[in-house]
């Protein structure tokens, strides 16, 4: 038991039907019926491998995209191919989530075999709209189609989807009401790294916050400054621009217009209080790179100062690039910060989709202490909220002692 949740160390999986929820949601290339990245699939391989090696009958549940980001809303068939290649054994796939075909395929599984079901979000109850508008309790989630049809066929639920742990949805929080449950290896690892970072980081502990998810970045900044985890916050990207504007610095009319257009005007006011209270800990860019009057990257002096801070730190957490790193004229700031991340002695954690992309682009994957699969979950975790999936797994640990018979 760790964090009040059962781990894979406590279960025997031989001959058991295991529902294993993973987060292998990736950008899709519809034209070639393939995935543009396989980072998250690679990350869940150790758990799946362990379950198969132990003789489990593994049923994988996953989502791919959603109704609101329709371009990525897709079947999980390409994921099964990637998984098969990575595992070096066939992962079966079925064009069904919890209907008769899926249930038959589950019944036919043998020890050491794996089956990936189709996109769980093809079931409406798994959609964000349902989550937000209906706010089903966890007990109600147990009555949804996917949970009520699949749980009776299974002996154990394993959640390895830390990246989706902030989602209050049936395939994530419903099975824990009916089945003995535990977290997978990736979930456990990400939970450990992040709680360590929050509770007892090696100091100095530096947070580098940039990018364009402004609301999340400010929430996180406030949390780590209030809670004392951060000794220093280095800011860049749109987040840095907003803080500069809050301080009354001139960032150019085009930058201000962009902030207004994106709907972040209110943060210029609200971040003033943050600056007054923690001004000594928050570092702002001292120079910027402009494209058509708009500030799109931190300048060379700022990047050099951030490099020094990162190299002097013992722990560094990064979320969000320093500029529009996708374009060559505004990538230098991000590249320089990532150079320092690669050669600092500090323990480094990088989280967020675009930040992981930057890490790959600059060839630093091997040099980062921990690349976190979760964006939203990570941010919500850092704000101190108990994540819905964590709550559900803790509930299961109390109701279903592992090793016991099914109720
Ligand atoms: P992550 O995915 O790592 O959490 P975000 O999604 O918050 O990061 O931010 C990444 C995006 O922010 C990138 O697409 C980048 O182009 C954009 N960005 C960075 N700096 C700026 C800036 N100064 N103005 C506008 N967009 C920016
Ligand atoms: Mg992003």
Query: Per-residue pLDDT tens for 380-400?
Result: 887 777 999 999 999 999 999
Nearest bound ligand to CA 357? 1
Model confidence at 405, pLDDT cuts 50, 70, 90, reads very low
Give the mean model confidence (pLDDT) for residues 201-223: 93
- Supply the residue whose CA is at minimum distance from atom 15 of ligand 1: 324
pLDDT band at residue 406 under the 50/70/90 scheme: very low
User: Which band of pLDDT confidence, cut at 50, 70 and 90, is reported for residue 402?
Assistant: confident
Least confident of 155-169, 296-310, 376-390: 376-390
Higher pLDDT, 378 or 303: 303
pLDDT at 403 over 70: no
Instruction: Check pocket membership of 319 for ligand 1, CB cut-off 6 A.
Output: yes
- The pLDDT assigned to 378 comes to 81
Q: What is the mean pLDDT of residues 329-354?
A: 95
User: Does position 7 have pLDDT exceeding 60, yes or no?
Assistant: yes
Residue nearest to atom 25 of ligand 1 (CA): 238
Is residue 93 scored above 80 in pLDDT? Answer: yes
Measured from the CB, is residue 359 less than 6 Å from ligand 1? no
Q: Which two tokens stand for residue 357?
A: 């992309």
Atom of ligand 1 nearest to the CA of 241: 23
Residue 404 pLDDT > 50, yes or no?
no
pLDDT score of 401: 85
The pLDDT score that the predictor gives to residue 194 is: 86
Write the pLDDT tens digit of every residue in 361-373: 999 999 999 888 7
CA distance linking residue 131 with residue 307, whole number of Å? 42
User: From the CB of 321, is ligand 1 less than 6 Å away?
Assistant: yes
Ligand nearest to the CA of 358: 1
Ligand 1, atom nearest to 213 Cα? 7
């Amino acid at each position: 038991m760790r964090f009040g949740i059962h781990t894979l160390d406590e279960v025997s999986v031989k001959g058991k039907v295991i529902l294993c929820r993973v987060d292998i949601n990736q950008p899709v290339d519809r034209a070639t019926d393939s995935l543009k990245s396989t980072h998250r699939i690679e990350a869940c391989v150790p758990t799946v491998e362990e379950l198969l090696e132990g003789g489990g009958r593994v049923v994988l549940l996953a989502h791919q995209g959603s109704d609101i980001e329709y371009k990525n809303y897709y079947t999980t068939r390409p994921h099964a191919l990637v998984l098969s290649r990575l595992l070096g054994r066939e992962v079966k796939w079925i064009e069904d989530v919890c209907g008769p075909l899926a249930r038959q395929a589950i019944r036919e599984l043998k020890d050491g075999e794996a089956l990936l079901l189709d996109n769980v979000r093809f079931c409406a109850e798994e959609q964000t709209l349902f989550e937000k508008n209906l706010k089903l309790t966890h007990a109600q989630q147990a009555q949804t189609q996917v949970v009520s049809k699949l749980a009776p066929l299974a002996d154990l639920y394993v959640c390895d989807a830390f990246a989706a742990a902030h989602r209050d949805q049936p395939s994530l929080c419903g099975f824990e009401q009916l089945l003995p449950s535990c977290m997978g290896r990736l979930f456990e690892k990400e939970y450990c790294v992040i709680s360590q970072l929050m509770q007892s980081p090696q100091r100095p502990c530096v947070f580098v916050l940039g990018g364009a998810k402004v609301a999340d970045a400010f929430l996180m900044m406030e949390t780590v400054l209030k809670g004392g985890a951060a000794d220093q916050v280095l800011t860049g990207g749109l987040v840095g621009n907003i803080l500069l504007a809050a301080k009354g610095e001139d960032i150019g009319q085009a930058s201000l217009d962009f902030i207004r257009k994106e709907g972040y005007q209110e943060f210029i006011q609200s971040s003033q209080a943050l600056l007054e209270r923690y001004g000594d800990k928050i570092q702002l860019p001292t120079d910027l790179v402009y494209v058509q009057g708009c500030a799109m990257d931190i300048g060379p002096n700022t990047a050099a100062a951030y490099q020094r801070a990162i190299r002097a730190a013992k722990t560094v957490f990064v979320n969000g690039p320093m500029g529009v790193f996708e374009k060559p004229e505004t990538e230098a700031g991000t590249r320089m910060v990532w150079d320092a991340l690669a050669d600092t002695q500090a323990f480094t954690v990088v989280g967020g989709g675009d930040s992981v992309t930057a890490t790959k682009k600059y060839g630093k994957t091997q040099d980062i202490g921990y690349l976190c699969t979760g964006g939203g979950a990570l941010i919500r975790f850092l704000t101190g909220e108990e994540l819905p999936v964590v709550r559900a797994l803790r509930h299961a640990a109390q109701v279903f002692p592992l090793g016991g018979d099914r109720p």
